[in-house]
Amino acid sequence: MRVQMLGLCRFSYLGLRGYQVEHDSIAARRAYLYDPDRLARRWLWFQTVALPGWLAQTDPDFTLVIMTGPDLPEPWLGQLRDLCDRVPQLRLSLVPAMDYHLEACHAAVAPHLDPDAQVIGHFRHDDDDAVAVDYIARARADFARVSPLWQAEGKLSLDYGRGLIIAARDGQLKITPRICHNMGVALTIFLAPDAPRTALHFNHTKLAQWMPGVQVTRPLMFIRSIHADSDSGDMGPGLPWQPEEGTMNRLLRSRFGLRRADLAALARSLG
């Protein structure tokens, strides 16, 4: 069974709705999203936290669509173009501002659907979060183990619940190990190829309304970031877990390709 892993990452996409921070007009949203200082901070998060894991995936058979507007200011639009030209798994989608966010997300993803795939593993990814380097490989393997659930309904969610919450406040970095349910990062929605939907069409906190779901709580699979520019600054419900003493730096390197010193420097620069 051919499974395409297809993700969507919105980088300051200029459209109404679809976010917790809302605006009354495109002009107001443009002023907020395209503020140069804000864009510089978002790029730092994207480059420092999000990209390393995607560039180091052990299974390179995936597509991550980076969605933004055609009027995204320079140098950020040029940097996104250069990045997507260098990395074959990354595709840049320039979507004009639309009132209906889900339609915009589908417009970004639809051209990249694999016509030979029998199943599409849709995932969303925020530009300041991270997935582990084996997320794609494990999602594909774990789906194969539970695929009869998908076959019964044509929809299935697969959630990796063990992660780290990193908070950058007042120049300080705080890392909180957390087991969460359907956080949104490292969460795959498996759909039929002809389903006119993406992962964004399903509220990740209410997935049980639409489909069966499986949660896998090992290994460590995601990082979620909380900072001043977060769309949501709430850690949300979850359970604590405790890594072995002295292993945090190794976990960051081996699971995400990150260095704790770089994360701490990022937090200081934003403070």
Q: Please give the pLDDT value at position 22.
A: 62
Q: What angle do CA 161, 167, 172 make, to 5 degrees?
A: 150
Q: Please give the pLDDT value at position 24.
A: 67
Residues 6+ apart with CB under 8 A from 112: 6, 63, 65, 91, 93
Q: What is the pLDDT along the chain (271 residues), one digit of tens a residue?
A: 999 999 999 999 987 654 555 666 788 889 999 999 999 999 999 999 999 999 999 999 999 999 999 999 999 999 999 999 999 999 999 999 888 889 999 999 999 999 999 999 999 999 999 999 999 999 999 999 999 999 999 999 999 999 999 999 999 999 999 999 999 999 999 999 999 999 999 999 999 999 999 999 999 999 999 998 887 667 778 999 999 999 999 999 999 999 999 999 999 999 8
Q: What angle do CA 19, 12, 196 make, to 5 degrees?
A: 60
Q: Please give the pLDDT value at position 16.
A: 66
The closest of 232, 229, 243 to 163, measured between CA atoms, is 243
Q: Please give the pLDDT value at position 26.
A: 80
- What are the structural domains of the chain? 3-270 (3.90.550)
Residues 6+ apart with CB under 8 A from 63: 4, 5, 6, 7, 89, 91, 112
- Residue 87 DSSP SS3: coil
